[in-house]
Structure 1
Amino acid sequence: MKIAKSLPRRFWAEVVLASLTAVLGVITPLWPDWIEAISGWDPDQHDGSVEWMIACGLLLATIALFSVAAFEWRRAPSAATA
């Protein structure tokens, strides 16, 4: 549990944001109309192309955020040296 205390808040923010983008990235192909249901915005008139672009963008953001979080994890002092 010592390692969790030595990790910066930035790490936890990255993990939470990565998890959120992962969930939204998975939900979007399964329920593509969630964007229209929440915002009322329908740029492609139910074509689905914008939803696929959003899903791809969310999954790319997930990969980027988890990569940055992994960098923070490796940079944090280990429990053995703390």
Structure 2
Amino acid sequence: MTQSHPAVRTRFWLQAGFSAAALVLALVTLISREWIELLTGWDPDRGSGTVEWVIVAVLGLIAITLGAAARHEWHRPRAAATD
């Protein structure tokens, strides 16, 4: 008898969701760098755009890291099921 594929853990869904959110925010920041100032009224770099580029880089790294972790989590149950 063949075992069914075990469900992925909640950790996968959290990692995938936060990865997607970070990617969306990074893309929004690339498209419209003024959204932070419009939303908060805060302009720490006085219009130079430096903070926005740092935000894009950090959000990109977060998206990549969490995406890789989610991918690992997705494959974990499959590997355990074949043991």
Fold match, TM over 0.5? yes
**What is the CA deviation profile of residues 14-62 of structure 1, one whole-angstrom value per residue up to 9, with x for unaligned ones?**
1110000000111101100111111111100111010001001000000
Where do 5+ consecutive residues of structure 1 fail to align? none
Does 2:27 correspond to 1:29? no
Residue in structure 2 matched with residue 66 of structure 1 by the alignment: 67
CA radius of gyration, larger in? 2
Two-structure CA RMSD over aligned residues (Å): 1.7
- Structure 2: gaps of 5 or more residues: none
Q: TM-score, normalised by structure 2?
A: 0.84
Equivalent residue letter for 1:46: G
Identity over aligned residues, as a percent?
Answer: 37
